[in-house]
């Protein structure tokens, strides 16, 4: 029964608005409205003082934030980000040291082509042991029946995966063996 939903656990889930998928991803990952657009814009300006043509977001002010904003935002919540080496597979991940997973893939369609945009989404393993896809393009979180296959398929097509950990676990979330 692939990608079913569950209603027995309370889940916070924001849906897609403009190009704010990183904002929704952060809030879905943290399971609360931890950030607003203004917070991410402030982080952009702290890394690049230019308000127009800022290197870390869309020049149209619609979002499309980059990985630097992901890392800076999570650092304010005492979380670290490890960029997963796409030569490895899920079997190299130490899930017990991972808070959550963030996926980044090319945006499809004409708008994605024109903006060279990418889409962010979070996956969490909740207290019931199941993995849930919190993609803001979904109407609600969905269960991922086989997370290892899901993870490895995203690696195979060239998507980027980021492991979110506590700082003390960042060096111990992946094994090369």
pLDDT tens, the chain, 177 aa long: 344 444 567 899 988 777 778 889 999 999 999 999 888 888 867 755 655 454 444 555 555 677 888 888 999 999 999 999 999 999 999 999 999 999 998 876 554 445 557 888 999 999 889 999 999 899 999 999 999 999 999 999 999 999 999 988 888 889 876
Active site residue 152: no
Q: Give CATH for domain 21-172.
A: 3.90.70.40
Active site residue 48: no
Active site residue 10: no
Catalytic residue among 24, 41, 56, 119: 119
Catalytic residue among 44, 56, 66, 135: 135
User: What does the domain layout of the chain look like in residue ranges?
Assistant: 21-172
* Tokens, residue 88: 């490895």
């Amino acid at each position: 029964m692939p990608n079913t939903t569950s209603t027995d656990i309370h889940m916070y889930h924001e849906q897609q608005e403009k190009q704010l998928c990183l904002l929704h991803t952060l809030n879905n990952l943290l399971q609360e409205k931890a950030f607003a657009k203004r917070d991410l814009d402030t982080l952009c300006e702290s890394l690049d003082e230019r308000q127009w043509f800022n290197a870390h977001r869309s020049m149209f002010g619609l979002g499309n934030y980059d990985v630097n904003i992901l890392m800076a935002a999570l650092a304010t919540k005492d979380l670290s980000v490890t960029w997963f080496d796409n030569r490895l597979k899920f079997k190299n991940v130490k899930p017990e040291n991972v808070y959550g997973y963030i996926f980044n893939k090319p945006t499809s369609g004409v708008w994605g082509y024109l903006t060279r945009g990418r889409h962010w989404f979070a996956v969490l393993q909740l207290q019931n042991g199941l993995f849930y896809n919190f993609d803001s393009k979904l109407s609600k979180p969905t269960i991922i029946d086989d997370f290892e296959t899901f993870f490895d398929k995203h690696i195979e097509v060239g998507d980027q995966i980021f492991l979110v950990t506590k700082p003390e676990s960042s060096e111990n979330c992946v094994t090369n063996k």
